[in-house]
């Protein structure tokens, strides 16, 4: 039976939709981490490592010299590698997510022996952070890139966390855009155009819905969207980075 999450280590699909945004910033097996911030307004400032070190310890990891959480587990059955920054404001949400994904992976491996497989199963998580605005206001984003090879082929997926430092609340796809607008109808043509290769027939008309755009990061210059591999877009063969000038989305950004 195939796992419900996707590998990060071998292949990755990142669709970056770069759009200028005022006050915004930007991955399900272990990978590497990063942070991001968006515009906000208030005297709230993320405290690097606040809850991050304890969360890292709870996962079985430790902080490296750069302040990132590192976890490395190797045994005859599987290998887990985590590396992600711990300065994202809502660190508890990150810890809860990674704890669940790690436990799901270990449980799945326990129920699916290698059966002649020459190498252990792999689960990787890496994180990257993004910011927008000027601290202590603005936004912060953390995108986890997750990879595992427990399925038919290795797959990369993403989990993004976005936080409004001024309002002390998470930012979702719905709150990123103005109420009453239809962001998907704007995003689909932009992504389709970016995927077209010079001299080659363009991809068929994209018909993505809002669920395809849930993982994003916010910066002052852009909004970057991350698409799970083997999901709404082709598994391979496409350039999945899309850069869109701020003006393309400015009229619908909240």
* Three-state DSSP string of 169-226: EECCHHHHECCCCCHHHHHHHHHHHHHCCCCCCCCCCCCCCHHHHCCEEECCCCEEEC
Residue 247: what pLDDT?
78
Spans of all domains in the chain: 17-248
pLDDT of res. 18: 38
User: What is the full per-residue pLDDT of the chain (254 aa) written as tens digits?
Assistant: 444 443 333 333 334 433 334 444 433 333 333 333 333 333 334 444 457 889 999 999 999 999 999 999 999 999 999 999 999 999 999 999 999 999 999 999 999 888 788 889 999 999 999 999 998 899 999 999 999 998 888 888 899 999 999 999 999 999 999 999 999 999 999 888 877 766 655 556 778 899 989 999 998 988 988 888 877 776 665 555 566 677 788 999 88
Assigned CATH topology for domain 17-248? Heat Shock Protein 90 (3.30.565)
Q: CA nearest 87: which of 51, 125, 121?
A: 51
Can you say how many angstroms the Cα of residue 62 is from the centroid of all Cα atoms in its chain?
A: 22
């Amino acid at each position: 039976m195939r796992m419900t999450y996707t590998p990060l280590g071998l292949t990755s699909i990142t669709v970056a939709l770069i759009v200028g945004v005022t006050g915004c910033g930007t991955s399900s097996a272990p990978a590497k981490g990063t942070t991001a911030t968006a515009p906000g307004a208030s005297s709230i400032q993320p405290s690097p490592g606040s809850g991050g070190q304890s969360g890292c310890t709870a996962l079985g990891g430790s902080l490296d010299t750069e302040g990132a959480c590192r976890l490395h587990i190797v045994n005859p059955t599987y290998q887990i590698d985590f590396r992600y920054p711990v300065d994202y404001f809502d660190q508890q949400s990150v810890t809860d997510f990674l704890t669940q994904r790690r436990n799901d992976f270990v449980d799945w491996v326990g129920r699916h022996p290698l059966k002649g497989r020459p190498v252990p199963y792999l689960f990787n998580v890496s994180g990257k952070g993004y910011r927008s605005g000027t601290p202590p206001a603005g936004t912060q984003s953390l995108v986890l890139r997750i990879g595992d090879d427990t399925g038919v082929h290795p797959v990369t997926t993403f989990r993004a966390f976005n936080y409004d430092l001024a309002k002390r609340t998470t930012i979702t796809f719905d709150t990123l855009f103005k109420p009453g607008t239809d962001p998907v109808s704007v995003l689909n043509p932009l992504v389709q155009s970016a995927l077209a290769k010079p001299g080659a027939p363009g991809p068929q008309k994209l018909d993505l819905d809002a669920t395809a755009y849930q993982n994003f990061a916010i910066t002052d210059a852009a909004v970057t969207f991350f698409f799970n591999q083997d999901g709404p877009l082709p598994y391979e063969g496409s350039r999945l980075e899309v850069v869109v000038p701020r003006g393309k989305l400015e009229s619908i950004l909240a």
